Amino acid sequence: MNSTTLAPSQLEQLKKLTTVVADTGDFERMQEFQPQDATTNPSLILKAAQQPNYQSLVNAVKAAHPGLNPTELVDYILVAFGMEILKIVPGRVSTEVDARLSFDTKATVAKAKHLIALYESHGVDRKRILIKLAATWEGIAAAKELESDGIHCNMTLLFSLVQAAACGAANAKLISPFVGRITDWYKVKLGSNWSDATHGGANDPGVTSVKRIFHYYKHFGIPTEIMGASFRNTTQILELAGCDLLTISPELLSELSTGFTAVTKKLDTANAQAALSAENIIPLKLDEPSFRLQLNNDAMATEKLAEGIRNFCIDTEKLETLLGK
């Protein structure tokens, strides 16, 4: 049985409702799914750089820049993978700034401009690049400055409405609210009280978080794009059909490409007004003290943001070690 004898695959149906993005540094696997955009992060690039089929790329970058130390080489590796990805996707690639700069606005801006300069030195239009920044107060401030210079940003490690609202106020091009990591936190928190029947599907806490952000943005006319990220299963993905974009791992893209049940639009701009009224959402206060207090009072968002930054820092250091060998 194949898609010619059945209804279109879930992936084909989803592409008609949402822009599908590949969440991987493995550009060879992207080709089979034909995504519009692609996203990378330090963990994904580390994983790809350790694969035998990418050793020639890594070695070529090292050979071309013999005088650089491993920290400096990382930027060139990120751009090299990004360049290969842009040969496959017609849209944009997201390249992440060193997570160790997540609390330094000035250094983040400088690193972002360096990455853009590297891409532009290869003739790539900056419109095809999204610079990924952690959605800390400092990262959001950096995004505001970069966007004013025509450098578009993808705000990542985003777990709360206040982070999303602040990114919108900074005119960030795109946000990546994390779904699976939110769900992970609540599963641990609830322990034996977690029930897939009660807490899954439309009630999945990661799914409801993105829905709330979607309703807030559409109600208040915020043009920042919303890209659901960090999925654990296809149910989470399909519950967000209609979101501006969804970035999906090759494993889940493969699963969607072999599923043929009907996909329905779950998020709709036209319904945002009614949804907001039901959720009683009002504009959030977004000055620095208010932002920090609201984020601090959200234990899940605070913990997952800190954990995400730590893990990206660890994987960046592992990548530097790999390049130093």
Can you read off the two tokens belonging to residue 244? 């501006």
Q: Is 144 a catalytic residue?
A: no
The torsion angles phi and psi of 287, rounded to 5 degrees, stand at -70, 165
Q: Which of 213, 226, 223, 222 lies closest to 276 in space, CA to CA?
A: 213
Q: Are 89 and 38 in contact (CB under 8 A)?
A: yes
Q: Which of 175, 295, 276, 284 lies closest to 229 in space, CA to CA?
A: 175
278's CB contacts (< 8 A; 6+ apart) are none
Q: How many CA atoms lie within 13 A of 158 on its CB side?
A: 29
Let me know if 191 is exposed, middle or buried by CB neighbors in 10 A (0-12, 13-18, 19+). Answer: exposed
- DSSP-derived letter for residue 247 is E
Q: Which residues pair with 22 in a beta bridge?
A: 38, 248
Catalytic residue among 111, 132, 173, 211: 132
- Catalytic residue IDs: 132
